[in-house]
Amino acid sequence: MSDEIANLRKFVSPEIVFGAGARNTVGNFARSFGARKILLVSDPGVVAAGWVDDVAQSLRIAGFDYVTFTDVSPNPRAEEVMKGAEIYTAEGCNLIVAVGGGSPMDCAKGIGIVATHNRHILEFEGVDTIDVAIPPLIFIPTTAGTSADVSQFAIISDQQEKMKISIVSKAVVPDVSLIDPETTVTMDSFLTACTGVDALVHAIEAFVSTGSGPLTDMHALDAIRLVNDNLVALVKNPLDLKLREQVMLGSMKAGLAFSNAILGAVHAMSHSLGGFLDLPHGMCNAMLLEHVIGFNFKSAEDKFRVVAETMGIDTRGLNNQQVHRKLQDRVIQLKREVGLIEGLAASGVNISDIPVLSDKAIKDPCILTNPRKSSKRDVEVVYEEAL
């Protein structure tokens, strides 16, 4: 491969409508895709928050027939995807609208894959395994963190194997993302903190990823700044729409960055952890972040210095070791201020679980773009530090 081709970078993104009230445009987009009948995918928490009724009303006003599927767990399961795909096919749907956090959105992506390929969702693990176009996807995120509404990732839980699989493909980038900060006001402080830290991890990992480049770096750095500057205040003032908007914008930019630059060891290890213990994804990331920064720092010192500066650290006159320490301290301080202070042991991880967790993490596609090459033993050491 020539150097010119090695340096090429591509960038994929949905059509994005950002701002208060964006969700109300769902009917216009459904019309432009020639929707006949819509599968509306969500989960019980989002139903309880009122957003499913809200979006359903928009569809009714626009004259659309729809069927709802809300049987989705916090970490969407393979069998839920299969059940949703059955309903999609049986009801004669030709478009999917997802409302919610990462779980309904990832489930909706899986439903689209299964409905067009007629195969089990777990067969699509890995990169570029989808060879038939899936139905149009219109996504309305109700959390500011996962960015499934702009990404080419779908993460599905395999309950039998106690692991999460990653499906990475341009085919699962939604056609339209209606990013409406108003929908995030129903998140409690814990979920706001978890999803906000998830967005921060997306941005940091995308910036130091071996797949990064100028198209992703600008989004990653802006996301780090937006989350760093606004998340603590938002957790204290969850009804402040201006703060909601800033963190939502940070989450969106982090999503555009990681969807195209991919991620690293935090996510590879977090997917393994989340599949094993069924814990909130953002919480898994939070428990691992400073430990993975410690592992990776020497392999991307210049980039981590920029991350530190973007998080408000004055690095003038500091050597790399001092920057390293200050960056880790800043991450720990931010986590403490938003209430995410638990280690792995407090969440039920035992030292005896680490070989199994590491074995799964080292096979996750996210590990491939980590700035430092990782062996299974390397991953075990980081998990041990995070206990």
pLDDT at 8 over 90: no
List CB contacts of 154: < 8 A, sequence separation 6 or more. Answer: 106, 109, 110, 113, 148, 166, 167, 172
Q: What is the pLDDT of residue 1?
A: 45
4 band by pLDDT with thresholds 50, 70 and 90: low
Instruction: Give the Cβ contact number of residue 77 at 10 Å.
Output: 22
Place of tokens 């060891």: 265
Token output for 302: 């210049």
> What tokens appear for 229 in the block?
């500057």
pTM over 0.75: yes
Asked whether 325 and 126 are in contact (CB, 8 A), the reply is no
pLDDT at 2 over 80: no
pLDDT reading at 249 higher than 80: yes
pLDDT tens column, 14-47: 999 999 999 999 999 999 999 999 999 999 999 9
pLDDT tens digits for range 182-196: 999 999 999 999 999
Determine the pLDDT at residue 10: 87
Does the structure show a pLDDT above 70 at 166?
yes
Average of pLDDT values for 300-320?
A: 98
Check residue 7 and give its pLDDT: 73
pLDDT grade for 6, boundaries at 50, 70 and 90: low
Domain 3-184: give its CATH architecture: 3-Layer(aba) Sandwich (3.40)
pLDDT at res. 64: 98
Q: What angle do CA 274, 97, 201 make, to 5 degrees?
A: 35
Beta bridge partners of 68: 40
- Model confidence at 67, pLDDT cuts 50, 70, 90, reads very high
DSSP-assigned letter for residue 4: H
Give the pLDDT score at 188: 94
Mean pLDDT of 120-144: 96
Calculate what percentage of the chain has a pLDDT beyond 90. 95
202: tokens are 């997306």
* Pairing mode, strands 176-179 and 137-141: parallel
The pLDDT tens digits of the residues spanning 36-45 come to: 999 999 999 9
> Does pLDDT of 123 surpass 80?
yes
Task: Give the residue from 100, 102, 32, 26 showing the smallest Cα distance to 66.
Answer: 26
Mean pLDDT of 117-125: 97
Please spell the DSSP secondary structure of 313-369, one letter per residue. ---TT--HHHHHHHHHHHHHHHHHHTT----TGGGT--GGGHHHHHHHHTTSGGGGG
Per-residue CA distances from 139 to 30, 203, 275, 377 (Å): 11, 21, 24, 39
- Work out the burial of residue 189: count CB atoms within 10 Å of its CB; fewer than 13 is exposed, 13-18 middle, 19 or more buried: middle
User: Is the pLDDT higher at 238 or at 6?
Assistant: 238
- Do the domains 3-184 and 187-386 sit in the same CATH topology, yes or no? no
Range 231-234, long-range pairs (CB < 8 A, 24+ positions): 231/192, 231/193, 231/196, 231/197, 231/200, 231/334, 231/338, 232/334, 232/337, 232/338, 234/192, 234/196
DSSP type of residue 131: -
Q: How far is CA 195 from the centre of its chain?
A: 9
Q: Which fold has domain 187-386?
A: Dehydroquinate synthase-like, alpha domain (1.20.1090)
Question: How many C-alpha atoms does 20 have within 13 Å on its Cβ side?
Answer: 9
Is it the case that residue 133 has pLDDT exceeding 80? Answer: yes
* CA-angle at 92, arms to 90 and 96, nearest 5°: 105
Give the chain's mean pLDDT: 96
Q: Average pLDDT of 269-295?
A: 94
> What residues does each domain of the chain span?
3-184, 187-386
Q: Which tokens hold the place of 249?
A: 């914008």
CB 244 within 8 A of CB 184: yes
**Cα–Cα distance for residue pair 66/48, rounded to 1 Å:** 19
Nearest alpha-carbon partner for 329 in 261, 318, 63, 84: 318
At residue 137, the pLDDT reads 98
Report the percent of the chain where pLDDT is more than 70. 98
| CB atoms closer than 10 angstroms to residue 73 | 15
245: left (phi over 0), alpha (psi -120 to 50) or beta: alpha
Predicted pLDDT at 5: 57
Extract the tokens encoding 319: 């050597």
Please state the rounded mean pLDDT for residues 354-379: 96
